[in-house]
Structure 1
Amino acid sequence: MKKSILFYLIVFLVSSSMFSQETIENTSTKNFNEFKLNGLYLILGVFEASYETTLNDESAVGISVLLPIDNAVNSDIKYAISPYYRFYFGEKYAAGFFVEGFGMLNSTNRNIDLFENNEDDFRTDFALGFAVGGKWVTKKGFSIEIFGGIGRNLFNNEGTDYDIVGKGGVNLGYRF
């Protein structure tokens, strides 16, 4: 009898140690911050910088600021500030194919006439839109993304044909 109780006690202790759970820290669930520059816009004479922070493995929020640095572009746009939310579909942490919803506070020239020299008429407006793209991140944290999107100004677009805004480019960044 004592042998059977001892036997069951040993079996219980061995089996309970087999089902114990260990807490292993998973570094892939860490949230990241990322700074990016739009390389395509730099070639075209526009400076656009972005900051993004991940919320989890499939979503992130960020903001981008666009300022013209070339005089030819400066006559068409003064600035654009665009907060956004992204949802990622890739297997890596906040990378791969994504869809984005964005808002854009922008100031653009509404009297764009290619044949006459009209005075600049800059109007500030707010647009809502969406974009799609892809992001690739290296193990060292460098990233590249290609994206494009379209939105519509909501307020000061009466009497003009310029109520559509675009967003896109090739961003080069670093995730930390």
Structure 2
Amino acid sequence: MKKNFLLFIILFAFYSVKAQNENGTDANPYQKNNEVKLNLISPLFGAVEVGFERHLNKNSSLGISAFFVYDNTENEDLNYYISPYYRYYFGKKYASGFFVEGFGMFTSIDGKKIYSADRLTFTENKDVYDAVLGAGLGYKLVTKKGFVFEANASYGKLLFNADKTDHTQVIKLGLSIGYRF
């Protein structure tokens, strides 16, 4: 009888510890695994960039961002890109602070411009689709309410069709605001 009672007490103790973790009474307010972001710099270039990030653990995450040009008078060269990335965080809080990233990208860029003899008019070749590999760094600040502020810069090189366009590199700049949930 004493063994059964002792077993019941031990099981109850484990169950109550598990229940405390599940209801969030001692959960870290920063430890939420999903994030959506909007780049505040991209409208200056006649475009919009949105992103989603999924945190794998305290120090790493996977994400994807999409950039679409809506005003070709502001951004005459880039049409769009879709860019998955991996980030490693060095901050003390959950998935925040200084980070480095590696990214890939599928992009559409305007084709090579061929100028006439008078250098006043040009003919543009068709759009070029290419893949990019690159790296970057940045900093992320997260509030207790879940708001995210991020600044980052990344650099990458076109892999396959750089000779068909006037551009061989891609630079991603971001000053983003978002929400972690």
For the criterion TM > 0.5, the same-fold answer is yes
Q: Does 1:32 align with 2:37?
A: no
Q: Which residue is 1:70 aligned to?
A: 71
Mapped to 2, the partners of 1:88 and 1:54 lie a distance apart of 10
Q: Which residue is 1:134 aligned to?
A: 139
Aligned ranges 1:10-25 → 2 under 5 Å:
25=21
Q: Assess if the C-alpha contact under 8 Å between 2:140 and 2:150 holds in 1.
A: yes
- CA-CA distance at 1:161 after TM superposition: 4.7
**2:85 maps to amino acid:** Y
- CA-CA distance at 1:111 after TM superposition: 2.0
The answer for unaligned runs of 5 or more in structure 1 is: 1-19
Q: Which residue is 2:56 aligned to?
A: 55
Mapped to 2, the partners of 1:84 and 1:78 lie a distance apart of 20
Aligned ranges 1:76-155 → 2 under 5 Å:
76-112=77-113, 115-155=120-160
**1:162 maps to amino acid:** H
The answer for unaligned runs of 5 or more in structure 2 is: 1-12
- CA-CA distance at 1:42 after TM superposition: 1.8
User: Taking structure 1 as the reference length, what is the TM-score of the superposition?
Assistant: 0.80
CA deviations on 1:99-132 (whole Å, 9 max, x unpaired) are 0000010010132479533235310000000010
Matched residues, number: 158
- CA-CA distance at 1:32 after TM superposition: 1.3
Mapped to 2, the partners of 1:62 and 1:80 lie a distance apart of 14
Q: Assess if the C-alpha contact under 8 Å between 1:31 and 1:53 holds in 2.
A: no
Question: In angstroms, what is the RMSD of aligned CA positions?
Answer: 2.4
**1:156 maps to amino acid:** N
Q: Assess if the C-alpha contact under 8 Å between 1:75 and 1:120 holds in 2.
A: no
